[in-house]
A and B are shown apart, each in its own frame.
Chain A
Amino acid sequence: MAKTLLQLMGEKVVVFDGAMGTSLQAQDLSLDDFEGLEGCNELLSASRPFAVRRVHDEFLAAGADVVETNTFGGVQVVLAEYGIEHRAHELALRSAELAREVAAAHSTPDHPRFVCGSIGPGTKLPSLGHIGYRDLRQSFLPLAAGLVEGGVDALIVETCQDLLQAKAALDAVRQAMSDGGRQLPVMASVTIEANGSMLVGSDIATAAATLLPLGLDSLGLNCATGPDQMIRHVQFLSRHGANRLSVMPNAGLPKNIDGLVVYPLGPEELADWLERFVREEGAGIVGGCCGTVPAHIRAVAQRVGGLEAPSRQPQRLPETASLFQAVTMFQEPAPLIVGERTNANGSKEFRDRLLADDLEGMVAVARDQERGGAHLLDVCVAYVGRDERADMERLIPQLARQVRMPLVIDSTDPDSIEAALERHGGRCVINSINLEDGEERLDQVVTLARRFGAALVALVIDEEGMALTVERKLAVARRIHRICVERHGLAPQDLIFDMLTFTVGSGDPEMRRAALETLEAIEQGKRLLPGIHTILGVSNVSFGLKPAARRILNSVFLAEAVERGLDQAIINARGITPLHRIPDELRDICHRLIHADFTSNGDPLTQLLEHYEDAVAAGQSSEAVEDLPPAEQLRRKIINGEKKGLEELLDGLRRDGRDPLELVNGELIPAMKVVGDLFGSGQMQLPFVLQSAETMKAAVALLEPYLPAMETQSRGTLVLATVKGDVHDIGKNLVDIILSNNGYTVVNLGIKVLLEGMLEAAEEHGAHAIGMSGLLVKSTLVMKENLEEMKRRGLEIPVLLGGAALTREYVEQDLRRIYGPAVHYGADAFAALNLLGEIRSGVTAPEAAPDPDTDPLTRPRAESDKAISTTTPRPGTGPQIFGSEEGGGDDLPAPEVDRTVAVPRAPWIGVREADHIPLEQLYPLLNETTLFRGQWRYRRGKLSRDQFNEMIENEVRPVFERIKLQCLGEPLLVPRGMVGWFHCHSENGAVVVHSPDPGGEPVRFTFPRRRTEPHHCIADYFRPGPGGEPDLIGLFVVTVGPSASLREKELFEAGHYRDYLHLHGFSVEIAEAAAEWLHARMREELGIAGGDQTGVEAMVRQGYRGSRYSFGYPACPDLEQQRPLFTLLQPERIGITLSESCQMEPEQSVSAIVVHHPEAKYFNLT
């Protein structure tokens, strides 16, 4: 018996043909050939069959195993553009027969040939509302039916641009096969544009999550780009795709040369890439798309057509998906939260908006759920008197386009569920099925789930009603599982069981075990039915109790359910209290109530009720805060950073006859001093200090109209600036915030300020001191030069210095030798505050450099808390203090470096702008440690782990989530980059980069050698020259653009200090993440990404091949080397410039050289 296509795919790599359109165009057909419908290739199967036959013939002769039918545009919506939609079936049938004839002629027992029916995407995108699902599916039907009837061996839905379109095509294919009585292999192939997503914005993970549940025989990629830009997506499908992986690239990205479309990739190059995909990623099906001609297919068939079918074990992820992102059905840490407020029966706000037909308002409720931490969104529009189906039809397309969370379609009406599924391109969950009305109704919904690839929530309800006991719950679950898996072919992971829970708060003795039975059922159910997920409407457990008691009982119950294996919770994420914040006694009461323990320590329900009776009384006494003296309330507001109610309080105080100036000096400033002390002793984190400062500013602004003129109330004036050549703003601005909110006048001159500017301002404003700030090592030298000049001019004005590269020793020994005792080291903003206080009261200016350990002025915060200094250095943000003056080291012996390492093939040579860098792809790369603790300075310090985690969850993560969403919504951060690949060689501690232009000048980077053994030098990782095989060097520069800095300035000036710090830190870390992203892509381009480890910490530890070095860092501290890098990449084209100190502007930019040699890792020079 003849081999089938699937059998062949099990044996060897199967080669598909190349481009039909390109090959037909090459035949110089006339308008007559097209019957006057130029460009309608599908028509040629009827009008000029020899032309189509010839294309098939040439590809088969070139060695293709499979040819695709000439039906790419055979869907009715496309043929309708030529007015021949009525011929869809006929043309498909004719095309299939034609291809079969030619394939049969080439087929031998040793080399069987096959025909695959081609189904292109058409011209309308249902996710954007161009066409309805039903019409589109109908439009695919005659094509699919014609192909099946015409005898194709398989069908491929290809060039998918919109997942909803793909679902409609696949739905039609299933229908046609069922009608035609033939079951054929079904393949799908998606098209990811150069920007990393499908036309409507879905990435490859979303495509896989959506299409895999539809039961595909293969899933792959075709069209849009050349193979080089497919790597990431191929790798994803290799790991998480279907059992078979197909790759059919274009012959490179098309170029327009003199009006002709030219595809740059040659046959051997295409074969190189596909061989790599076969060998490294396990692609078993390869071929070509646009621009690939028989010569390409010949090269591919020769190279890989004889290879054994690669073996792969892809792991399908249990995922749901919106149109934009895939979300796994479990979360670490558990549970996954299903937002419950978009429910007409559960939320009054949502119901009101539904009844008002306010679509935008309903979407707003959905978005609020996202901000509240929900992972999925439950949508229920069933409401008495409304047409549920019509409401689904209106709302779902809006949610599909505007919400990033996948949807849970909450309905019991199959028609409404179908209407919803027809309007969502991602993978939805259906909520829910049960056996209350028997199996027929359940079958109906499961069939829908199968057709649309949805996951299912199953409630343990059968003909006898809701299951209350473990035994009943498990019996019903088992029965539903059997029907879904055995009868309908669903995977267990697509089932989410709701074991149902009932209240333990009613006092009904019959129901005491309700919660316990649920917990047992969750645990045993997951054991009994491996692979399933579980979900629970947690808050049912506390129905009937007071809100405060409900919140606590729900929280304890949720924690326990998660421990027993609960994956998902339908709950208001904002209504959960972390366990460690619930007093032990209360936790114990809830625990006993859940476990129906009414014997060991009394009746827990009564105890819970009594506790909340007492709590009401306690609440009344706690309102006594309001009874505190108003001055004390004001003090607390400053310390706690609460602006609310400030105006009333201050008005009241003034009415009571308090003098406004005295309020500032007697209440506000002392309160800020407490804040400073709390900060200094590690009890208050910087962002909260800023919040206090904001409140202070607001309070002073409210009092301002009643205060005497500025000059008389000011405690003193400081001129403040970041020194020449340095662009770092934030440390200096933090000093400004603290000083100006403690009664000082700060003249903030900004960044890159020359000494002259500072002196003029000091004179003009009668300043009492000058503050100089700077992050760079070089800035410490600028400070020294400034002091030398000031000394020459005989100035004696006190100078405060601050910045990450400074040390107390340097200031108090080296610099005091120049300027004398009037120069001071400000370790942080509060140190600056103290110093200024001392200067104004005349107690400072010691005669000699004090011992830092005994100096009473500085000791309290001396070494431990540098937090309000400037940004600390790290790879990518600033230089190290050591090593910067190191250089050369030519006399030292170079360590052994493996010279046998092959130089990877250059992906291309020259400079390109990095493709669109999608912000949402950078978020997973963000390093939370450096963001939270480094940039934002929420440090654990002396806090317990629980206290710290509580602060992170309650104060930090909500900010983090909000800022992430905000930046997706408005163009504050627009990552852009330039990438270059160049040939190069090393020469005595230098890397000589060859110009990509023939005869162009080489560009030189010089690198110092490590002083101690081993004497590393970055140049050693490149092959020596000139002469011999050149090596390859990568360069890049990436930025978040200028908008972030502009917004930061606005926030700072408006007194939103905490937001200012948050946005600044976030933008810096996004630039870092963009550098990681770009570096990863460059490794992929080189083909050295195979060993990449995953996870943020692995990136920190350089868990990848090679290294990337940024100038200004330990291994290459010389910032001057930025100049050759800028010469080569010319990033000025995307708005990045170099300051005279070779710093990049915008500040949130990262530049680096990329080294492929496996031995290249970070090192320092000392």
Chain B
Amino acid sequence: MNTHWVCVNCGYVYRVEEGDPSQGIAPGTPFEELPDDWRCPICYVGKDEFDPE
């Protein structure tokens, strides 16, 4: 399981251990379980633009 995913558009790293508090994502949430409408908190592109680190 990949715990870090990078946004290829802006370079933001989603870290499972951090989650994404800005969109109410709890720490520990695997990337695969993020809601489909979740977006990069920096540049707002969708999950498709993320690549496992």
Contact = CB atoms under 8 A, between A and B. Distances in A.
Interface of A: 863-864, 866, 872-875, 880, 882, 927, 929-930, 933-934, 939-941, 945, 1096-1097, 1100-1102, 1113-1114, 1162, 1164
A866 B10 contact: no
Given A940-B51, A1097-B12, A1113-B43, 19 more contacts: A863-B48, A864-B48, A873-B9, A874-B10, A874-B43, A927-B11, A929-B7, A929-B11, A933-B8, A934-B8, A934-B11, A939-B8, A939-B51, A940-B52, A945-B53, A1100-B12, A1101-B12, A1101-B42, A1162-B43
Contact of B45 (A864, A874, A1100): A874
A930 B10 contact: yes
B44 A1114 contact: yes
Nearest to B13: A1097
Max count, chain B CB within 10 A of own CB: residue among A874, A875, A930, A1097? A874
B17 interface: no
Interface in B1-28: 6-13
Contacts of B39: 1164
B44 A930 contact: no
Interface string B32-51: 00000001001111001101
Max count, chain B CB within 10 A of own CB: residue among A863, A945, A1100? A1100
Given A1097-B13, A1101-B42, A930 B48 contact: no
B52 to A, nearest CB: 5
Nearest to B12: A1100
Contacts of A1101: 12, 42
Contacts of A940: 51-53
A933 B8 CA distance: 6
B37 to A, nearest CB: 10
Contacts of A1096: 11
B9 A930 contact: yes
A939 B7 CA distance: 11
B51 A941 contact: yes
**Which secondary structure characterizes the binding site on chain A?**
loop
B22 to A, nearest CB: 9
Given A866-B48, A1164-B44, A872 B9 contact: yes
A873 B52 CA distance: 20
Contacts of B42: 875, 1100-1102, 1162
A882 B42 CA distance: 15
Contacts of B7: 929
A866 B49 CA distance: 9
A940 B6 CA distance: 10
Nearest to A948: B52
A311 to B, nearest CB: 35
B11 A872 contact: no
Contacts of B13: 1097
5 contacts: A864-B48, A929-B11, A930-B10, A941-B51, A1100-B11
Contact of A872 (B8, B12, B51, B53): B8
A1097 B14 CA distance: 11
A934 B39 CA distance: 16
A934 B48 contact: no
A221 B17 CA distance: 45
A1162 B44 CA distance: 10
A874 B48 contact: no
Give the 7 A-B CB pairs with smallest separation, nearest first: A933-B8, A934-B8, A874-B9, A929-B11, A1100-B11, A927-B11, A1114-B44
A872 B44 contact: no
A875 to B, nearest CB: 6
A1102 B7 CA distance: 15
A1100 B10 contact: yes
A738 to B, nearest CB: 21
Contacts of B6: 929, 933
B3 to A, nearest CB: 11
A872 B49 contact: yes
A904 B14 CA distance: 34
B8 A930 contact: yes
A873 B45 contact: yes
Max count, chain A CB within 10 A of own CB: residue among B11, B13, B51? B11
A863 B8 CA distance: 16
A679 to B, nearest CB: 16
